């Protein structure tokens, strides 16, 4: 009897402390994320009055407008283009760089610092600098190559120019995660395979990639979610009269324009609900698809 009572007392205490420790995160999540999600969904059924007062219930009419809004579907296409470019290219580059930086080379710490540096700069500042690099008239890029390319105002490729900025600024983050994953891989595998005569490239594809796949999966999922929410780069780089605007604006950019610039929070919320659904489906798909390519040992 005495021992059972002791266990349950201990359990109770663990229960109490356990909840206490996650309480700050829980409160933060509920107040800052969960409640706003439902408020946003709620708002998407309203026509917003001036300054958010006197909202009128309009049923599904915001959704009808959304379905017929060419700009929204173009923005969805832009967002996906951006996300795919940014995630695929940045992961490919950072994977190679991480493997190289994992080797014993001179100035390793120095290189790691350099690649991580873009992460600590403010995105707005990065965007401003790149905007000038890309400038058609006075930009460094065009001056260097002696060209006159409209990097950020040609509707055909402006979104990729913006993706390049995204890739450049996210490399460091991916590299750090990959480095951590690489250090988990036991050296024995490499030793054994090199005795068997495997080249560095074969080792990379047959040992490094499979054993790193859980990390790659994590990076892909979080980066896709992040990239689908791209806003600041586009907002800073593309001016309102830029002819490439409709071909570069993302869903969050449209949300910002409707909700904040035009004070139409109802329609803005509708756009965000669409984004929420897109992110949800993409993420569920990835979690199902991981069974095909992620190896947990």
Partner 1 sequence: MIKKFCIFVSFALIAVLALISAGSVSAADKLIVGIWDTNQQAGLQEILNDWSAITGIDAEIQVTTWNEYWTVLEAGASGGTLPDVFWMHSNVSQKYMENGILLDLTDRIAASEVIDMENYYPDIVDLYTYDGKYYAMPKDIDTIALWYNKTMFDEAGIAYPDETWTWEKLAEVAKQLTKEDKSVYGYAINTSNNQDSYYNVIYSYGGAVISADKKTSMLADPKTIAGMEVIEGMLREGSVPDLQTISENGTQVLFESGKVAMITQGSWMVPAFRDNEYTTANADVAVLPSGPEARVSIYNGLGWAANANGKNPDEAWSLIEYLGTKEAQEKQAQLGVTMSAYIGTSDAWKNSVPGFNLEGHLNMLDETLVIRPYSRNTTVWETMIQQDLGPAWTGEKTMAEALKEIAEKMNGILAEERY
Residues lying near partner 1 in the complex (CB under 8 A) are found at 50-53, 135-138, 150, 152-154, 239-243, 245-246, 257, 260-264
What is the closest distance, in whole angstroms, from the C-beta atom of residue 56 to partner 1 in the complex? 8
Residue closer to partner 1 by CB (options 17, 145) is 17
Cα separation, 135 vs 138, whole angstroms: 6
Residue closer to partner 1 by CB (options 184, 239) is 239
Residue closer to partner 1 by CB (options 58, 198) is 58
- Angle, CA of 140, 134 and 154, to the nearest 5°: 140
What is the closest distance, in whole angstroms, from the C-beta atom of residue 19 to partner 1 in the complex? 13
What is the closest distance, in whole angstroms, from the C-beta atom of residue 150 to partner 1 in the complex? 5
Residue closer to partner 1 by CB (options 199, 261) is 261
What is the closest distance, in whole angstroms, from the C-beta atom of residue 212 to partner 1 in the complex? 41
What is the closest distance, in whole angstroms, from the C-beta atom of residue 154 to partner 1 in the complex? 7
57, containing H or E segment: strand 56-57
Selection from 162, 170, 160, 164 nearest residue 226 by Cα: 170
Cα separation, 213 vs 219, whole angstroms: 10
Cα separation, 234 vs 239, whole angstroms: 9
Residue closer to partner 1 by CB (options 181, 266) is 266
Cα separation, 95 vs 97, whole angstroms: 5
Structure-token pair, residue 129: 């600098």
Whether the CB-CB separation of 152 and 237 falls below 8 Å is answered with yes
What is the closest distance, in whole angstroms, from the C-beta atom of residue 74 to partner 1 in the complex? 12
* Nearest-10 Cα torsion for 92, 95, 100, 104: 180
Residue closer to partner 1 by CB (options 158, 220) is 158
């Amino acid at each position: 009897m005495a021992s059972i009572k002791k266990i349950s007392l201990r359990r109770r205490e663990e229960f109490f402390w356990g909840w206490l420790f996650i309480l700050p995160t829980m409160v933060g999540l509920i107040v800052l994320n969960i409640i706003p999600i439902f408020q946003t969904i709620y708002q998407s059924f309203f026509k917003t009055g001036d300054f958010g007062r006197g909202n009128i219930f309009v049923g599904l009419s915001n959704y009808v407008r959304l379905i017929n809004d060419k700009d929204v579907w173009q923005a969805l296409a832009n967002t996906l283009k951006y996300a795919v470019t940014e995630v695929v290219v940045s992961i490919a580059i950072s994977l190679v760089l991480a493997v190289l930086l994992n080797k014993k080379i001179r100035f390793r710490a120095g290189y790691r610092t350099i690649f991580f540096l873009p992460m600590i700069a403010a995105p707005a500042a990065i965007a401003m600098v790149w905007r000038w690099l890309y400038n058609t008239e006075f930009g460094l890029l065009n001056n260097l190559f002696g060209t006159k390319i409209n990097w950020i105002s040609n509707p055909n490729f402006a979104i990729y120019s913006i993706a390049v900025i995204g890739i450049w600024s996210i490399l460091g983050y991916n590299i750090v995660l990959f480095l951590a994953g690489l250090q988990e891989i036991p050296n024995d595998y490499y030793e054994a395979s090199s005795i068997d005569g495997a080249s560095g490239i074969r080792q990379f594809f047959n040992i490094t990639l499979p054993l790193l796949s859980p990390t790659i999966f994590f990076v892909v999922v979080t980066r896709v979610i992040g990239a689908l929410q791209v806003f600041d780069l586009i907002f800073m780089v593309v001016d309102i009269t830029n002819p490439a605007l409709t071909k570069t604006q993302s869903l969050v950019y449209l949300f910002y324009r409707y909700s904040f610039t035009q004070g139409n929070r109802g329609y803005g919320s509708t756009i965000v609900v669409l984004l929420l659904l897109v992110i949800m489906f993409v993420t569920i798909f990835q979690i199902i698809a991981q069974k095909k390519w992620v190896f947990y040992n």
